[in-house]
Amino acid sequence: MYRNDTVLPFFGILFGVALWYMAYLDGLHIARLAGHQPEELSVGQLGLITFGIVFFLWGAIGYISAWLEGGELRPGREEAEGGAAPMVVVFVLALLLVGLSGLFVNAVLYGLTEGPVKSSFMGQLAAAILLVMTLLLVVYKKFFVDDEVLVEDEHSEVPW
């Protein structure tokens, strides 16, 4: 049928880490040539880091997809596993999400009344909120949503 392989995601993560390491080595080379460590990143380092992040995320999405859908899709319906442990994980993640959201709102209100809040803090807090939301959706999909694989004719109505 359809094989959900993890070879390409592995090489995506490996290539992403290699690009990050190349950016690190580029920074060391620039520091050696300049005689001191510059405070800003070079254009080459930014490009390497950006593409490293893209490949790393692509590999991570591939691994998550393989974990959620299984190694091979087979026609039919598969019941969700459920259980007490996933329910506790969902509860803890929901509490963490509420706490982080409250902290975010508190930081916004503090910034409006007292003065500016560091944008890096707000960005990291928003990223943490999105990460917890993603983990919550992944756990929900894996343990509480039934999977169904449908098989269609090769000559279906789809134009491609």
Average predicted confidence (pLDDT) for the chain: 87
pLDDT tens-digit map of 87-117: 999 999 999 999 999 999 999 999 999 888 9
Mean pLDDT, residues 25-43: 84
| pLDDT value, residue 1 | 41
User: What is the spatial distance between Cα 89 and Cα 135, in angstroms, rounded to a whole number?
Assistant: 10
Asked whether the whole model's pTM tops 0.85, one would answer no
